[in-house]
Structure 1
């Protein structure tokens, strides 16, 4: 386990901490009410990220 002094994140090489999906740029939404909208897809990706992060934290309670 490695903790960088400049960073409070913990590095687990075999089980890295999940990273959030990038937010869509405002210009990526066309404003035409697409189904699904780029923001809907991002919301779904954020739900998966939150679940993955919760599972990771359960595996690494001290992190």
Structure 2
């Protein structure tokens, strides 16, 4: 059974003061970029599944 279709939630970008500017190994901007990439992947998956569901079923052969 397929998962129900739902539009993924976009990640919230970091605010101006969220980055401390100390060159952290994993910066809030890095985390946002990763979340954004995952969001885009899920969105593409969602759009593909939406398109597939909207396409008419192929005609069946009647004997």
TM-score by length of 2: 0.72
| Aligned residue-pair number | 49
Query: In structure 1, what is the Cα distance between the partners aligned to 2:39 and 2:47?
Result: 12
Unaligned runs of 5+ in 2: 55-63
Which residue matches 1:36? 26
In the TM superposition, what are the counterparts of 1:12-23 in structure 2 within 5 Å?
14-23=4-13
Query: In structure 2, what is the Cα distance between the partners aligned to 1:15 and 1:60?
Result: 8
Higher strand share: 1
Q: Spell out structure 1 runs of 4+ moving beyond 2 A.
A: none
Q: Which has the higher contact order (CA 8 A, sep 6+)?
A: 2
